[in-house]
Structure 1
Amino acid sequence: MDTGHESLSDRAIAARLGERLRALRLRRNRTQEDVAARAAVSLGTLKALEAGRGKLETLIAILRELGALAAVDALLPEPPVSPLALARRGRGRRRASAKGGAGPDGPAW
């Protein structure tokens, strides 16, 4: 699926994310001052994030304050687990390995 991001620079993608974050804040009818204070970041930090500059931890704090942490799953979804891996995980161990195991008198340490 082509989202148009492949042809953009990293800086352009960051700016687009900042614009979307600003739009989300405005849709929630929240001021920069209010969101910054409640997310425990400075107003300048929030402004920088909305301009496409900032740290990942700051983005998470702002998303949490705006009630949008689910956006992280959309950004980086968990990889699906294959049916074979699920079957292996549910089985558990059935026997010990032959090498380095405990003898009849207990562990060999």
Structure 2
Amino acid sequence: MSFHGKSDRQILQTLGERLRGHRLRRDITQEQLAERAGLSVSTIKGLESGRGRLDSLVAVLRELGQLDGLESFLPDPGISPLQLAERRGRPRQRASGTSQVAPRGKKKPESDW
């Protein structure tokens, strides 16, 4: 199933339906899941209807044994080229090859504008 072309609301409803499906496959009531995850029943109902907070979602995913899905859902983007250069102690290089900042200790010439 592709989420492209769906509204944000439709995507959230689909995610809520999937949470509900995982809960039902484990044969757990909303009350049992709420107790195990340390949340209220209304929070579980909200998540299953596409509403809720990220911390609540993580607690439910943990209880349903679905935390591994988060890695494929939102993988680590890795280190950026800027962060890598900073770690190596090198100045940032621009794609144009020209620096927009004057070297340390030297002032850029004043513009006539």
Cα deviation for residue 29 of structure 1 reads 1.2
Q: Which runs of 4+ in 1 moved over 6 A?
A: none
- In 1, Cα distance between the equivalents of 2:25 and 2:78? 32
Partner of 2:75: 77
Identity among equivalent pairs (%): 50
Specify the alignment match of 2:30 in structure 1. Answer: 32
Q: Structure 1 counterpart of 2:23, which letter?
A: R
Counterpart residue number, 2:57:
59
**Counterpart AA for 1:18:** G
Which letter does structure 2 place at the counterpart of 1:51? S
Q: How many residues align?
A: 92
- Paired with 1:79 and 1:41, the residues of 2 have a C-alpha distance of 31
Which blocks of at least 5 consecutive residues in structure 2 are unaligned? 90-113
Could you tell me which residue of structure 1 aligns to residue 98 of structure 2? none
Computed over aligned residues only, the root mean square deviation of the Cα atoms, in angstroms, reads: 2.8
Q: What TM-score comes out, normalization by structure 2 length?
A: 0.67
Q: 1:79, 1:55 → 2: CA distance?
A: 23
**Secondary structure in structure 2 of the residue aligned to 1:68:** coil
Partners of 2:69 and 2:2 lie apart in 1 by: 19
CA shift at 1:7, angstroms? 0.3
Q: Does 1:17 align with 2:41?
A: no
Deviation at 1:4, TM superposition (A): 2.3
- 2:110 — aligned with what? none
Give the letter for the 1:22 counterpart. R
Give the superposition deviation at 1:53.
0.5
| TM-score computed with the length of structure 1 as normaliser | 0.69
Unpaired segments of 5 or more residues in structure 1? 94-109
Report deviation, 1:79: 3.1
Q: Distance in 2 between matches of 1:45 and 1:80?
A: 33
